């Protein structure tokens, strides 16, 4: 009787374990099938500022890769001073709550439109964007924590320009990396204003002519389309 009872309990435990394993496998499979691809198009609305390749990241609602008033992270400084969004994308993809992070293949000139794609799932159905305005010290366009479209809708957003606060806005060609100057990227010995804030444009205090390189917000239009 003891042997039969032990075998019976053992079979029950095996069945429970098998059901849990199947449940976990089903969850992983559903997560894989839950992944949705979105097409992103960005149009540059400035008259004289090139926009570097767009960094995009999908995530849970309520998240952001920066906050106004905060000290800039090293990854944000690199994005805003050099136009390289890859360190930020790498950081976000390894941060809990983020689903995918991508950097576009090329920049977007004034009046031009470029496209890229990104994936998301139902739990990480918001997206944030960032990209440098090339002919500046550390200006970047940003769109934070916006909802991805449902169904076949196309949603349109507009991105304003922030100042990373990581480099002084001297508008000098020695410190502006874009095609107007070709200066150095990072300025590690310059701490700038020390906090992220809304950018106040080009004022002609250095080598940049505001008649050409200044702008008014919004600086970019972003369209997002669900593909599957």
Kindly report the CATH number assigned to the domain that includes residue 85: 2.60.40.2130
Tell me the helix, strand and coil percentages in the chain, rounded to 5: 25, 30, 45
Q: Which domain holds residue 13?
A: 1-33
pLDDT tens digits along 1-30 = 433 334 333 433 333 333 333 333 333 333
Question: Do 55 and 27 have their domain in common?
Answer: no
pLDDT tens digits along 106-123 = 999 999 999 999 999 888
Tell which wins on pLDDT, 114 or 33: 114
Question: Do 29 and 87 have their domain in common?
Answer: no
Is pLDDT above 80 for 101? yes
- How does DSSP classify residue 73? P
Strand, coil or helix: what is 57? strand
Question: Do 127 and 19 have their domain in common?
Answer: no
Question: Do 127 and 61 have their domain in common?
Answer: yes
Check residue 1 and give its pLDDT.
42
**Whose structure tokens read 């200066």?**
183
Question: Do 22 and 105 have their domain in common?
Answer: no
Q: pTM of the predicted model, to two decimals?
A: 0.85
Question: Do 29 and 43 have their domain in common?
Answer: no
Question: Do 23 and 134 have their domain in common?
Answer: no
Question: Do 87 and 43 have their domain in common?
Answer: yes
Task: Take residue 218 and report the two structure tokens written for it.
Answer: 């919004």
Check residue 149 and give its pLDDT.
94
The DSSP H or E segment spanning 8 is helix 2-33
Q: Which of 152, 150, 109, 151 is nearest to 133 (CA)?
A: 109
Check residue 7 and give its pLDDT.
33
pLDDT tens digits along 54-92 = 999 999 999 999 999 999 999 999 999 999 999 999 999
Check residue 33 and give its pLDDT.
56
Is pLDDT above 60 for 214? yes
Measured between its terminal Cα atoms, the distance across the chain in Å is: 58
Question: Do 141 and 175 have their domain in common?
Answer: yes
Question: Do 119 and 50 have their domain in common?
Answer: yes
Under 8 Å CB-to-CB from 17, ≥6 apart: which residues?
none
Under 8 Å CB-to-CB from 78, ≥6 apart: which residues?
84, 87, 88, 185, 186
Question: Do 14 and 72 have their domain in common?
Answer: no
Provide the domain count of the chain: 2
Question: Do 166 and 207 have their domain in common?
Answer: yes
pLDDT tens digits along 137-188 = 999 999 999 999 988 789 999 999 999 999 999 999 999 999 999 998 898 8
């Amino acid at each position: 009787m003891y042997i039969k009872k032990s075998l019976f309990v053992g079979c029950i435990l095996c069945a429970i374990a098998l059901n849990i394993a199947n449940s976990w496998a089903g969850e992983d499979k559903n997560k894989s099938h839950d992944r949705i691809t979105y097409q992103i198009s960005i149009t540059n609305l400035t008259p004289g500022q090139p926009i570097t390749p767009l960094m995009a990241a999908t995530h849970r609602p309520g998240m952001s890769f920066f906050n106004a008033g905060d000290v800039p992270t090293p990854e944000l400084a690199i994005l805003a001073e050099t136009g390289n969004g890859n360190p930020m994308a790498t950081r976000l993809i390894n941060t809990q709550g983020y689903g995918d992070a991508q950097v576009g293949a090329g920049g977007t000139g004034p009046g031009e439109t470029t496209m890229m794609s990104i994936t998301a799932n139902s739990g990480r159905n918001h997206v944030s964007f960032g990209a440098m305005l090339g002919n500046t010290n550390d200006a970047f366009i940003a769109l934070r924590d916006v909802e991805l479209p449902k169904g076949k809708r196309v949603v349109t957003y507009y991105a304003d320009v922030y100042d990373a606060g990581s480099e002084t806005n001297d508008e000098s060609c020695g410190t502006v990396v874009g095609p107007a100057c070709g200066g150095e990227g990072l300025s590690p010995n310059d701490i700038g204003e020390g906090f992220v804030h809304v950018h106040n444009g080009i004022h002609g205090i250095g080598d940049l002519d505001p008649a050409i390189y200044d702008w008014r917000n919004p600086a970019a239009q972003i369209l997002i389309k669900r593909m599957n």
